[in-house]
Structure 1
Amino acid sequence: MTTSGNIPGVHSEPTSAARTATGLLAYLLVGLYFGVVLVKSEAASWYRIQEMFRFESFHMFGLIGSAVLTGMITTALLRRSGAKSRDGQTITVTPKEKGWRRYVLGGLTFGVGWGLAGVCPGPIFTLLGAGIWPMLVVLAFALLGTYLYGALRDRLPH
């Protein structure tokens, strides 16, 4: 760490607390932007989700497809570029485990919950921020499900 001039205690590099605060602020701003995008694209709309599950509209399939394509491109770029994190560590993408059963069962569980609640876990906080208070029930059960998975994880097949 280098000091600035002759002023004791003044450093040119940010402290750990300042670095953490700027990182959290960046996450907050990205999350806020993502929430606005979810609302404006109607990805958080119960009606759009129901249209998708009834195969009445391409809107959500297009959104999900573009998200999958973006994720594939980003993952490929991360694997090839040798990009580094804010801490200077190389970002690695761990390959998925082989087998299909866990992914099918997880996808079915997620899909059933999504169909029953009318929302996937991503926009729960976005919808709460938009003043849709019944999402508190969905949030409570999402947290309960996460807790139960953590409590039963050792007994579940992986």
Structure 2
Amino acid sequence: MKNIRFLLIGVLFGIIMYKSEAASWYRIYEMFQFRSFHMYGIIGTGLATAILIVQYIKRKQLKDTSGEPIQFVDKKMSITRYLVGGTIFGLGWALTGACPGPMFTLLGAGYFASMGLVLVAALAGTWLYGIVRNRLPH
């Protein structure tokens, strides 16, 4: 029951995604054709918000829900890794019209058949990555 706040934050996030049309296939299609700034504005606002929140967490040395300090670990830069991963993610996003956030939002909005299939495929891809992860360059 103490984790109900996370469910409420997720529901609020879904409502915002739906109302801002960030979960709209048409808006995503527009973005990939460089016809509209709408999605770039949403993504840019999210990025700016994340930067501010991370800086706040670092300066205030905030702790997570279990009382442990929140730590940010630097990742090794790899052009190939980000190029291949970003291409796979972008192709999946363009083909389905949904990345993980809108995927659950559209599922909650009642698009069970199409988004159910996308969710199963996303879970299968995550499972497959878990299997081959040790053999990939990191």
TM-score above 0.5:
yes
Q: Does 1:143 align with 2:123?
A: yes
Matches within 5 A, 1:104-143: 104-133=83-112, 134-143=114-123
Supply the distance in 1 between the matched residues of 2:54 and 2:74 (Cα, whole angstroms).
11
Matched residue, 2:137: 157
Q: Can you give the 5+ residue segments of structure 1 that lack an aligned partner in the other structure?
A: 1-20
Q: For residue 96 of structure 1, report the CA deviation from its aligned partner.
A: 2.2
5 Å matches for 1:71-82? 71-82=50-61
**Which letter maps to 1:60?**
M
- What is the identity, as a one-letter code, of the residue corresponding to 1:85? D
Partner AA of 2:19 in structure 1? K
Does structure 2 retain, via aligned residues, the 8 Å contact 1:124–1:135?
yes
Offset of residue 137 of structure 1: 1.0
How much has 1:146 moved relative to structure 2? 0.6
- How do 1:17-32 and structure 2 match up within 5 A? 21-22=1-2, 24-32=3-11
Secondary structure of residue in 2 paired with 1:112? helix
Q: Which has the larger radius of gyration?
A: 1
Q: Is 2:88 aligned against 1:99?
A: no
Please give the residue correspondences for 1:9-24 in structure 2 after superposition, counting only pairs within 5 Å: 21-22=1-2, 24=3
Find the residue that maps to 2:101 and give its secondary structure.
Answer: coil
Higher relative contact order (CA 8 A, sep 6+): 2
Q: Which moved more, 1:140-149 or 1:118-127?
A: 118-127
Report the number of matched residues. Answer: 137
Could you tell me which runs of 5 or more consecutive residues in structure 2 were left unpaired when the two chains were aligned.
none
Checking the alignment, whether the CA contact within 8 Å between 1:52 and 1:61 is kept in structure 2 is yes
Within 2, Cα distance between the matches of 1:150 and 1:141? 14
The corresponding residue for 2:65 is 86
> Aligned to 1:154, what secondary structure does the other structure show?
helix
Would you say the 8 A contact 1:78–1:92 is kept in 2? no
CA shift digits 1:25-68 (9 cap, x unpaired): 01100000000000000000000000000111100000000111
